[in-house]
Amino acid sequence: MKTFKYALLFVVMLLFVNYASAQSENKETGDASGEVITLNKEDFFKNVYNYEKNKDSLIYEGNLPCIIDFYADWCGPCKKVEPILKELAKEYSGKIIIYKINTDREKELAMAFGVRSIPTYLFIPAKGNPQSAMGALPRESFVKVIEEFLLK
């Protein structure tokens, strides 16, 4: 009977850990509204742009305008901008999506977009051509781009 209790407790703990892990993973790559979403290459192709399929033109796969933050964990300016992007993701929830791509993990994506310094931001409207900016931007600059370019 004691062995059964321990086995049951073990199974319950495994289920809990598995559930918690799945929730954490969904925050990173899911459609979490009001959060900055981390992308890998597969998610980028699905949610933003498949440059292997559409070599000649950028065909945006999303429904809402987006900002893509090309960053690295060790980058000081990237760390300064991170809380600003989190605030903006909440503030503009349902209007834009903010993604981030770790250039150390996703080197191919960084090379595909000519990212040579970080942070680099790609602003993609729902329709139209994207724009980019390099360097840490203040909150006011992000708001201006969102209001005058992405939501126009």
75: annotated active-site residue: yes
Contacts of 133 (CB under 8 A, 6+ apart): 120, 121, 123, 141, 145
Closest CA to 83 of 63, 96, 98: 98
Amino acid at 96: I
* Catalytic option among 48, 68, 78, 109: 78
Report whether the peptide linkage leading into residue 119 is cis, meaning its omega lies within 30 degrees of zero: yes
Query: Is 97 exposed, middle or buried, given 0-12, 13-18 or 19+ CB atoms closer than 10 A?
Result: buried
Residue with tokens 């918690």: 20
66: annotated active-site residue: no
Q: Measure the CA–CA gap between 127 and 17, rounded to whole angstroms.
A: 41
* Catalytic option among 37, 48, 66, 75: 75
Q: Could you list the active site residues?
A: 75, 78
